[in-house]
Amino acid sequence: MVAELTSFTGADEAVAAVAAVVPPRRPARVKPAGRGRRQAPVLRLRAELPLPWRVGLAGAGMAGVLAVWLWASARSSGAVVVPSPADTWKAVATAWSSGQLRSDFSASMGRIGIGYAVSMAVGLVVGLLMGSLTSVESAVEAPIAFLRYIPATALTPLLLLWLGIGESPKVTLIVLGTVFFNILMVADVVRAVPQELIKVSYTLGAGRVTVLRKVILPHSLPGVIDVARINLAAGWLMLVVAELLAARQGLAYRIVQAQRFHQVDVMFAMLIVFGVIGVASDLALRWLRNAVAPWARP
Amino acid sequence: MTVAPAPATVRKLDMTRVIKTFPARRRQNPVVAVGPVDLHVDAGELVCIVGTSGCGKSTLLNIAGGLDHATLGGVSVDGEPVIGPGPDRGMVFQGYSLYPWKTVAENVAFGLECQAVTRARRAERVRELLAIMDLTAFADRLPKELSGGMRQRVAIARALAPEPDILLLDEPFGALDAQTKLAMQEFLLLVWQRTAATILMVTHDVEEALFLSQRVYVMHGRPGRVVEVVDVPFGRSRSTIVKRSPKFLDLRDEIQELFRQPTS
């Protein structure tokens, strides 16, 4: 058959005829001359991104969130009311000018300020000892491993029962919800102090207390600030839980109030405030870390 | 600090029949890691321990520094037994181990701080050491701003600051590139001559050991033992030309041949 065809039209024409009917499966990619594979600068794995790209992509990410929000608010109807960014902004402005935002803000900040400060202080002392002394580690690790897995939020009813509905159960909840993470993570930071640094300090005449104070503590400082920054999110979570249940003031309390009066814009306003506070505290702690430990800057 | 070397007969470090074992695992005998080893360093001497990795030479140095304990045997400095680490035995490690948050001057001053030396005396001593180490211009820099060779010079200055009886160096130039290493070797000789320090140094580099020291302890095997003690016949001040002399090459080959021997 093939032989017949060949004799009838000639080989080249036969190939051309087949090619015309059967399209190539995939267009052949032109391989650039030279060895190796070129990589596009934007999609290199774990590579530095040029600054314009970084800024541009960050802007695009934020714009994406805003676009979804706008799209959702445009479609909002019936039960699912999504206020527009403009309405939300108006609600923020109203809350600010009425002074309500300020009092809610200071109430919430007071709680998390005290609670988280206590949590970090305990975390620093216990974590420092746990990371430096294996005897403390042995004594403390098992109970903390157990307590850590009790969700702090599950303690809320108990705290309300024991401590009433004042400030103390709220502050306590913030402490309990973060302190175990702080202890364990500070201990990890302390364990990262190089053994040789400790050894060399002994050979320079430092005693154990001096090594703790003048070597382990300063070496751990930037890491401890990072721990504070990362676990602060858990602190906010605990604050919200505490305020949702029983409070007369506070940012999360305002959300519950707004729900009663169907003020979705006020709810959104408070969520935005939470987000802004979170980002601001994150940036502030990053700045603090670089300010107190310029040597650890990457 | 005088240039004149101390009389060579004063024994500084003395290690006799030192054995280090690691605890027995289940149903097994304890593992002997080092020893028995006899070793001594006299005042003003620069002595090297040379050996392949894993022969226990660093363990021996740590025992001298008091950071590790001998299972058996005696370790003494100036006739007093070593029971723990102290500023009389300054140590320098391969990884520099500088305090990254302290400046060069603060790093060097740390040992003096621990000794409660007055601020004025401290500043003076730091200035003096930085001058010896050729680091005066970098007094206020952080370690991360320095090159490897400079960092190691800071570490040596820091160890010298409390005026130790003996300086213990654990592969101090192991992480440096070949050129810097050579410069640092010459530098160490210079510092040794200027300060009349007593130095015990651990290295795996046979040429380095021969170039620097007056006596070389060759360690080999598991458990690590001293298989030969080589008296190096070159004078206190030497230049790199020594490395090309027939005697140097003979000694080098002799020691390297020892490493070829199977270990029992």
The model's pLDDT over A42-86, given as tens digits with 9 standing for 90+, comes to: 888 888 888 899 999 999 999 999 999 999 999 888 788 899 999
* Rounded alpha-carbon distances, angstroms, from residue A3 to A14, A18, A19, A91: 11, 15, 18, 85
Question: Between residues A227 and A10, which one has the greater pLDDT?
Answer: A227
Q: Does the structure show a pLDDT above 60 at B2?
A: no
CB B250 within 8 A of CB B230: no
The domain boundary residue, chosen from B163, B179, B194 = B163
In a domain, B225, yes or no: yes
For residue A294, give how far its alpha carbon lies from the nearest alpha carbon of chain B (Å): 8
The CA R_g of chain A, rounded to the nearest whole Å, is 30
B229-263 pLDDT per residue, tens: 989 888 888 888 888 899 999 999 999 988 887 76
- Any domain includes B249: no
**A167-204: pLDDT as tens digits:** 999 999 999 999 999 999 999 999 999 999 999 999 99
Asked if residue B170 and residue B82 are part of one domain, the reply reads yes
Cα angle, residue A149 at apex, residues A145 and A155 outer, rounded to 5°: 125
* Cα distances (Å, whole numbers) of residue A168 to A157, A161, A162, A234, B102: 13, 12, 10, 18, 42
| Residue numbers of the domain that contains B101 | 95-163
The dihedral region occupied by B97, where left means phi > 0, alpha psi between -120 and 50, and beta the remainder, is left
Assign B242 to helix, strand or coil: helix
- Same domain membership, residue B174 and residue B151: no
Q: Is residue B250 part of a domain?
A: no
Nearest to B93 among A200, A210, A218 (CB): A200
Same domain, B221 and B171: yes
Q: How many CB pairs under 8 A join A and B?
A: 72
In order, the DSSP letters of A211-238 are HIIIIIHHHHHHHHHHHHHHHHHHHHHH
- Contact between B1 and B160 under an 8 Å Cβ cutoff? The reply is no
- Chain B residues near residue A218 by CB distance under 8 angstroms: 99, 101
Residues of A in CB contact (< 8 Å) with B are 194, 196-197, 199-207, 210, 214-215, 218-219, 221, 293-296
Classify the C-alpha dihedral A76-A79-A80-A82 as positive or negative: positive
Amino acid at A289: R
The distance of Cα B193 from the centroid of its chain, to the nearest Å, equals 15
Confidence band for A246, pLDDT divided at 50, 70 and 90: confident
Structure confidence by residue, pLDDT tens digits, B23-64: 877 777 778 888 788 999 999 999 999 998 888 889 999 999
Say yes or no: B179 and B141 in one domain: no
How many CA atoms are closer than 13 Å to the CA of B203, on its beta-carbon side?
24
- Three-class DSSP labels, A149-216: CCCHHHHHHHHHHHHCCCHHHHHHHHHHHHHHHHHHHHHHHHHCCCHHHHHHHHHCCCCHHHHHHHHH
Confidence of residue A217 (pLDDT cuts 50, 70, 90): very high
Number of domains in chain B: 2
Pick the residue with more confidence: A6 or A231?
A231
pLDDT at A215: 96
Give the homologous superfamily in CATH for domain A86-97+105-296.
MetI-like (1.10.3720.10)
Contact B84 A202 (CB under 8 A): yes
B137 in any annotated domain: yes
pLDDT (0 to 100) of residue A35: 87
For residue range B155-173, list pLDDT tens digits in order.
999 999 998 999 999 999 9
Residue B15 lies in a domain: yes
Give me the residue spans of the domains in chain A.
86-97+105-296
Q: Phi then psi for B37, rounded to 5 degrees?
A: -125, 135
Looking at the structure, tell me whether residues B137 and B36 fall in a common domain.
no
B220 and B52 Cβ atoms separated by less than 8 Å = yes
Among residues B132, B163, B194, which one ends one of the domains?
Answer: B163
Strands across the sheet with B31-42, in order? B31-42, B11-22, B72-77, B80-81
Asked if B37 and B81 sit in the same domain, the reply is yes
What is the share, in percent, of chain A residues with pLDDT greater than 90? 69
With an 8 Å Cβ cutoff, are B159 and A203 in contact? yes
Together in a domain, B129 and B173: no
Structure token digits, residue B80: 């007093």
CB contact under 8 A, A197 and B115: no
Q: Are residues B112 and B147 in the same domain?
A: yes
Which has the closest alpha carbon to A147: A125, A177, A167? A177
* Closest chain A CA to residue B64: A203
Mean of per-residue pLDDT scores for chain B: 88
Give the minimum alpha-carbon distance from A182 to chain B in angstroms, rounded to a whole number.
23
Read off φ and ψ for residue B93, nearest 5 degrees. Answer: -105, 165
Residues B143 and B30 in one domain: no
Q: Are residues B233 and B170 in the same domain?
A: yes
**Contact criterion met (CB below 8 Å) for B92 and B259:** no
* Mean pLDDT value of segment A268-284: 94
Q: Which of B126, B142, B163 is the last residue of a domain?
A: B163
Q: A290: nearest CA in chain B?
A: B101
pLDDT at A1: 45
B200 and B71 fall within a common domain: yes
